Amino acid sequence: MEATAKADLKPVLVFDSGIGGLTVLREARVLMPERGFIYVADDAGFPYGGWEEEALKARILALFAELLQRYAPEICIIACNTAFTLAGADLRAAFPQMTFVGTVPAIKPAAERTRSGLVSVLATPGTVKRAYTRDLIQSFASQCHVRLVGSENLARMAEAYIRGETVSDDAVRAEIGPCFVEKDGARTDIVVLACTHYPFMANLFRKLAPWPVDWLDPAEAIARQARRLVPAADHADHPDAYDFAVFTSEAPDFSTRRLMQGFGLRTL
Ligand code: DGL
């Protein structure tokens, strides 16, 4: 709210249920240094993975009605697979004047890159259930064997991990284990990180994987898509009042605030 008076360049709004969207924000920053960023975490609704679909959709639409009015961004990046695969089309229909850049499981690039033909998609239970995800598989990966792994716990574990809490190796192994498939002498060679929280744990995944695979993180591709849609500016400084984070709980804890600071975001 506070910043609009100084703004001649509108900010980029990045949205997620929690801190996962920061994996996209850090790439978007590199490509759009002239823009300010508003990071919105619907932490009061976190985790999105277990929500009933209609209720979650209604929540996201209501939230955006408020956010767009309050912050008038240039563009919105929905840095959350669980939200976008459910509500992306409705957001575009409800707010036709706004540009939404979405995040969907990177099934197409995975299908193009796999050599073994065995691809796994590691996501929230919500994302693996979506018709959107099934359609992506049918359209782009029908020649592959795709294993969908809906993890109940990983998004929470990623939140804890990035805040510096200890996460047990065995617990992580149990979550990623189903991604590793051996079939007719071939092995999974690509795991799609289809939840924006997961790239924060990629090093741990690499360490604990039963064999090496490519962990596909779409953050950079999403940022590139946003860059294409945001008009380039002829001056490089954005109003310093931008670059802040908003939490729907209105009560982020100390470690969350510190984390935001590490990403150059003030917490309102
Ligand atoms: N970061 C979100 C995603 O990309 C989901 C985390 C959650 O709320 O469960 O799907």
- 70 part of a folded domain: yes
Domain that holds residue 92: 6-103+220-267
Query: Is 80 known to be catalytic?
Result: yes
pLDDT in tens, 68-81: 999 999 999 999 99
Let me know whether 253 and 156 are in one domain: no
In the prediction, which pLDDT does 54 show? 97
Q: How many domains in the chain?
A: 2
Last residue of a domain, one of 177, 201, 217: 217
Which listed residue (76, 80, 144, 179) is catalytic? Answer: 80
**Are both 124 and 39 inside the same structural domain?**
no
Ligand 1 atom closest to residue 45's alpha carbon, by position in its atom list: 8
Burial of 26 by CB count in 10 Å (0-12 exposed, 13-18 middle, 19+ buried)?
A: middle
Sign for the pseudo-dihedral over CA of 14, 17, 18, 24: negative
Atom number, ligand 1, closest to the C-alpha of residue 46: 8
Cβ contacts of residue 161 below 8 Å, gap of 6+? Answer: 167, 200, 201, 204
Query: Looking at the structure, do residues 133 and 212 belong to the same domain, yes or no?
Result: yes
Q: Examine residue 241 and state whether it is found in any structural domain, yes or no.
A: yes
**170: exposed, middle or buried (Cβ count in 10 Å: 0-12, 13-18, 19+):** exposed
User: What's the gap in Å between 216 CA and the centre of ligand 1?
Assistant: 16
d(CA 114, CA 55): 36
Ligand 1 site, residue 243, Cβ cutoff 6 A: no
- Number of neighbours of residue 165 by Cβ within 10 angstroms: 10
- 46 C-alpha to ligand 1 centroid (Å): 8
| Residue closest to 245 by CA, chosen among 220, 266, 224 | 266
CB of 20 within 6 A of ligand 1: the answer is: yes
Pair 226, 147 in one domain: no
* 43-77 residue pLDDT tens: 999 999 989 999 999 999 999 999 999 999 999 99
* Cα(206) to centroid(ligand 1), Å: 20
Distance CA 137, CA 159 (A): 28
1 within a domain of the structure (yes/no): no
Nearest Cα to 193, choosing from 214, 162, 211?
Answer: 214
**Cβ of 80 less than 6 Å from ligand 1:** yes
Element at 39 (helix H, strand E): strand 37-41
Are 51 and 112 members of one domain?
Answer: no
> Is the domain of 77 the same as that of 52?
yes
Q: How far is the CA of 96 from the centre of ligand 1 (A)?
A: 24
Do 255 and 187 share a domain, yes or no? no
195 an active-site residue?
yes
One domain, residues 202 and 170: yes
Are residues 178 and 224 both part of a single domain? Answer: no
- Residue environment code for 236-262, b if the CB has 16+ CB neighbours within 10 A, otherwise e: eebbeebbbbbbbeeebeeebeebbee
* CATH, residue 168: 3.40.50.1860
Q: In this predicted structure, what is the pLDDT of residue 32?
A: 95
User: 114 CB less than 6 Å from ligand 1?
Assistant: no
**Structure confidence by residue, pLDDT tens digits, 222-246:** 999 999 999 887 665 666 667 999 9
Of residues 232 and 21, more confidently modeled: 21
Ligand 1 center to residue 8 CA distance, Å?
32
Q: Is residue 259 part of a domain?
A: yes
* Percent share of the chain, pLDDT over 70: 94
Residue 135 located in a structural domain: yes
* pLDDT of the residue at 4: 39
- Report if residue 39 sits inside a domain: yes
Specify whether 136 is located in the same domain as 84.
no
Q: Are 75 and 120 in the same domain? A: no
**Whether residue 176 is found in the same domain as residue 234:** no
* Cβ of 23 less than 6 Å from ligand 1: no
Which of 217, 233, 251 lies at the terminal end of a domain, its last residue? 217
Going by C-alpha positions, the residue among 88, 86, 100, 101 that lies closest to residue 131 is 86
